[in-house]
Amino acid sequence: MTTATDSVELVGEEATGNVARAVLFAAATSATAPVDMVHPLAPNVPITLQTLWVYLAGVVLGPLWAGVAFTLYLLAGLVGLPVFAGGNAGLGVVLGPTGGFLIGFPLAAMTVGAVAHGLDGLTAPDAIPVPRLVLALVAGTAVVYAAGAVGYALVQAIGLVAAVSAVVVPFLPVAGLKIAATVAIARSDAIVAR
């Protein structure tokens, strides 16, 4: 058997591992989209766990590959995979009322990763000091909700204050819960040093 094997540029072992994890994070994010949870204080606000995966990606994959994971998520949705909340997809959704959140995901994942790990090299998630971890998650949350509110205001042509009260304030208590959960997960044995 003869194939011109020297012309094949293999993707290295490390990059292959990172691609695989980015893909699995993107798929997990869309699989968690519908979750039957009800917040006791705000039973009318649906709880979706996409941002939990945004946080986890930043903490586990670091800024570069967390960014890749959620760029993949966004692109997959743009070309029609049913990855957005409610099994939706398409450019119309990204340019729709909640599209700011979707565009905010890659930015937030990168922010969490950059604050938690810095820009050169990764730290084992359970070795990141808790205050730094919390700071990273709060910064990521700020990015997601800022993007979400600005997107809502632009798309619906309404004021920023109205947008914030519609799409940010009701979700903040749950965001706090997710941050607390993420800190606990980063300290658990689900994240083995790699």
Partner 1 sequence: MTITVEGYTYRYGETLAVDDVSVTVEDGEFLVLAGANGSGKTTLVRGFNGLLTPDRGTVSVNGRPVEDDPVAARSSVGMVFQDPRDGFVAATVGADVAFGPENLGLSRAAIDRRVADALDAVRMAGRGEERIDELSGGERERVAIAGALAMDPDHLVLDEPFTGLDWAARRSVLARLRGLREEGVGVVVVTHDLRDVAALADRIVVLADGVVAVDDPDPDPAALAERGVRPP
Partner 2 sequence: MNLRYVAGDTYVHRLDPRSKLFVQAAVAVAAFAHTTPAGLAALTAFVGGVCRLAATPVTASLRSYRAFLPFLVAGPLVEGATVGAPWFVVADAVTPALASYRVLLLLLVSTAYIRTTRVRESRVAIQWLLPGRIGVVLGAGVGFVLRFLPVLRDDLATVRAAMHARLGAERTLRERIRLIGVTGLRRVFRRADRFALALQARCFAWNPTLPVLSPTWRDGPALLVAVALLAWAAV
Nearer to partner 1, 27 or 155 (CB): 27
Nearest partner of 29 among 1, 58, 9, judged by Cα: 58
Residue span 145-164 as binding mask against partner 2, x where in contact by CB under 8 A, dash where not: -------x--xxxxx--x--
- Rounded to a whole number of angstroms, the CA Rg of the chain reads 18
Which position has the token pair 């994959």? 61
* Identity of the amino acid at 103: I
- Of the candidate residues 72, 107, 109, 133, the single one contacting partner 2 (CB under 8 A): 72
Piece of 7-15, 54-62, 115-123, 138-146 that binds partner 1 (CB under 8 A): 7-15
Q: Which two tokens stand for residue 63?
A: 């800024």
Q: φ and ψ at 20, to 5 degrees?
A: -60, -45
Q: Which two tokens stand for residue 127?
A: 């070795």
Binding map of partner 2 across residues 3-42, x = CB under 8 A, - = no contact:
----xxxxx-x--xx-xxxxxxxxxx-xxx--xxx-xx--
Does position 123 interact with partner 2 (CB under 8 A)? The reply is no
5 in contact with partner 1 (CB under 8 A):
yes
Nearer to partner 2, 158 or 172 (CB): 158
Q: What does 101 interact with, of partner 1, partner 2, none (CB < 5 to 8 A by kind)?
A: none
**What span, in angstroms and rounded, lies between the C-alpha atoms of 94 and 73?**
12
* Position 142 contacts partner 2 (CB under 8 A): no
CB atoms within 10 A of CB 139: 16
Among partner 2, partner 1, none, residue 4 binds (CB under 5-8 Å by kind): partner 1
- 7 vs 44, which CB is nearer to partner 1? 7
Phi and psi at 154, nearest 5°, equal -65, -45
